[in-house]
Amino acid sequence: MGYATGSVPLAAAVATGGFLIDLDHAVDYVLFDRQRDLRPGAFLRYYVEGHVKRAVLVLHSYELMALLALIAWWTHAPWLSGYLVGALMHLALDIVFNGRITPFSIAAFYSFTYRAYHRFDAVALLGIAERPVDEGFWGMFFDNGHVVKPLPRTGVPDALT
């Protein structure tokens, strides 16, 4: 993109938006789920095996994207617009791929207000069931641990779907 637009900083902003948005997973892991093992394998296993308790994910929210879009429009900041392009691509891919593993509304999940209404309870929001994965780090990373199987839809109150 830097060659196409002539702007390496803009390309860097798009890349930043696409990748650094996932830092909120690390924040949730440490602050809300109170995990202390910071090794990449332990972090990934925690998510792949479905141990997640809270899904606050501040950076993964429509509300934040709308606020940043307003600020980018108001300030005419190309780096912020680039960040938004990357972050929105990331959110779109999350919706497509994560929507395959949850029986609940993945589109609603990316609303911070919706997550707050459900008290950020990952099981209620995503229907994730815990299950061990026997693969090493790279197997989990590239194969997503054969994707955590969602809980069945029965028995879940309609208010949580």
**pLDDT mean over 68-82:** 95
3-state SS assignment for residue 157: coil
For residues 142 and 56, what is the distance between their CA atoms, to the nearest angstrom?
25
Please state the three-class secondary structure of 82-108 as a single string: HHHHHHHHHHHHHHHHHCCCCCCCHHH
User: Residue 121: phi, psi to the nearest 5?
Assistant: -75, 110
Structure tokens given for 116: 């707050």
For the chain, the straight-line distance linking the first and the last C-alpha, in angstroms and rounded, comes to 39
Q: Per residue in 96-108, pLDDT tens? A: 988 887 778 889 9
Q: What is the pLDDT of residue 143?
A: 60
The domain in which residue 119 lies consists of: 2-160
Rounded (10°) angle between helices 62-75 and 78-98? 160
Our count of domains for the chain comes to 1
- Residue among 127, 112, 138 at smallest CA distance from 41: 138
Contact yes or no for 24/91 (Cβ under 8 A): no
Residue 85 predicted with pLDDT over 50: yes
Structure tokens given for 81: 């617009």
Residue 36 predicted with pLDDT over 50: yes
> Average per-residue pLDDT in the chain?
82
Contacts of 6 (CB under 8 A, 6+ apart): none
Residue 84 predicted with pLDDT over 70: yes
Q: What is the pLDDT of residue 133?
A: 66
